[in-house]
Amino acid sequence: MKFLPLVWAALMRRKARTILTLLSIIVAFLLFGMLDAVRVAFTVRDSLEGASRLVTSSRLSIIQPLPYADLAQIQRVPGVRQVAFANWFGGIYQDRRNFFANFAVSPNYLDLFPEFVLPKEQRAAFDHTRTGAIVGANLARRYNFKVGDRIPLQATIFPHKNGDNTWTFDLVGIFHAREARDRGQEDQMMFHYDYFDEGRTFGHGTVGWYAVQISDPDRAGQVARDIDRLFANSADETRTQTEKQFSLDFARQIGDIGLIVSSIMGAVFFTILLLTGNTMSQAVRERIPELAVLKTIGYSNRRVLWLVLAESLLLAIAGGCIGLLLAMAGAGMLSAAFRGGAFEVGLQSWRNGIGIMLVLGFAVGLPPAWRAMRLRIVDALNAH
């Protein structure tokens, strides 16, 4: 600690250079923080409830509906606790660009998803309102929906049998995600399957997918196989997966987001390493006579090494922390800009970030520090 003033003096030797270096490190970590928030948002997480849920959909393809009659059969499979079902609606609110997920669900659907918290009286209202719909808090905020509103959706797949393309729903509840990290899921709307099935012009008696709650997550594989065996070689074969696998497969269809993000981060850090590395070695080169003086008055080689390293570590850590703090603010803006996104610079990003700060600090500081350590006093004093 007592050497801090010395390190500080070295950094302040050329203020402009230090500030510019610091700023570029800040920029790098700002970008790192935001990209990592995107990566984390696309990573499928384990959750207690998710582990005990299976998704049964048509084996032919996700767009192919399954008969409603499968419900009773799936319910009888040993290990199955509860079965709910849903059907994608794909309605549009006002403009095609206002995309959000909306689907019809069975009456017990919410029982399987305790991570969505709906006030008790709103749940009761939903249960009793045929045309009732519930939306996530995020969605409600975006379109200023309030309980009691009538929400019209333009059908894209299912025209209403009254000849009109518009379906109207009564908003009876607004649900919240129980945990902050699930806030991305607050961007959906659900309504009753019965109302939907009655109003559509085709596909009656079919559902999009079944959500199956099982009593023992460890037996998920066995239960999934048992369900699929029920319908093997029938006209409607099924494919049952854990919810996590289902989400993973879906995320993978969009593209390898992890790969894209890490390639960009690689390019960013390569660039930053280049920028700061060069500046650091330049800074040390200029100070060679000074370092020699330090050695002359009795500073050990090791101490000189640490003095130089401390400089780069200080820069990397200070810049990194400021950058990540900015990224926390930036991620909030990102979430606001991209509907349905819940981007957050969380603990994991901080942990990765601090690791990178240390690596950066050492990688950049070590070569000049090494040189400073190996310096022979006579040569160094002679340098100018």
The residues in 88-117 that bind another protein, with binding defined as CB under 8 A, are 90, 92, 96-97
382 to 137, 210, 284, 373, 374: CA distances (angstroms): 70, 81, 16, 16, 15
Nearer residue to another protein within complex by CB, 148 or 205:
205
Among 6, 28, 59, which residue's Cα sits nearest to residue 264?
28
The reply to whether 238 sits near another protein by the rule CB under 8 A is: no
The residues in 159-198 that bind another protein, with binding defined as CB under 8 A, are 159, 165
Please tell me the distance from the alpha carbon of residue 103 to that of residue 105, in angstroms, as a whole number: 6
The reply to whether 279 sits near another protein by the rule CB under 8 A is: yes
Q: Contact region for another protein (CB under 8 A) — 62-70, 127-135, 142-150, 364-372?
A: 62-70
Q: Which of 239, 295, 306, 343 binds another protein (CB under 8 A)?
A: 239
Binding mask 218-237 for another protein (x = CB under 8 A): ---------------x-x-x
Q: Contact region for another protein (CB under 8 A) — 19-27, 68-76, 346-354, 372-380?
A: 19-27
Q: How far is CA 98 from its chain centroid? A: 21
Query: Smallest distance, Å, CB 264 to another protein?
Result: 6
Return the biggest CA–CA distance within the chain.
96
Do 66 and 58 meet the contact criterion of CB atoms below 8 Å apart?
A: yes
Q: How far is CA 92 from its chain centroid? A: 25
Query: Smallest distance, Å, CB 337 to another protein?
Result: 8
Please tell me the distance from the alpha carbon of residue 276 to that of residue 311, in angstroms, as a whole number: 12
Q: Residues with Cβ < 8 Å from 244, sequence gap 6 or more?
A: 44, 46, 50, 51
Binding mask 288-327 for another protein (x = CB under 8 A): ----------------------------------------
Nearer residue to another protein within complex by CB, 68 or 299:
68
Query: Smallest distance, Å, CB 336 to another protein?
Result: 14
374 to 140, 278, 290, 368: CA distances (angstroms): 65, 19, 14, 10
Q: First vs last Cα of the chain: how many Å apart? A: 31
Among 147, 189, 180, 134, which residue's Cα sits nearest to residue 335?
180
Nearer residue to another protein within complex by CB, 145 or 158:
158
Which residues would be at the binding site for another protein (CB under 8 A)? 16-17, 20-21, 23-24, 27-28, 30-31, 35, 59-64, 90, 92, 96-97, 154-157, 159, 165, 202, 233, 235, 237, 239, 248-249, 252-256, 263-264, 267-268, 270-272, 274-275, 278-279, 281-282, 338
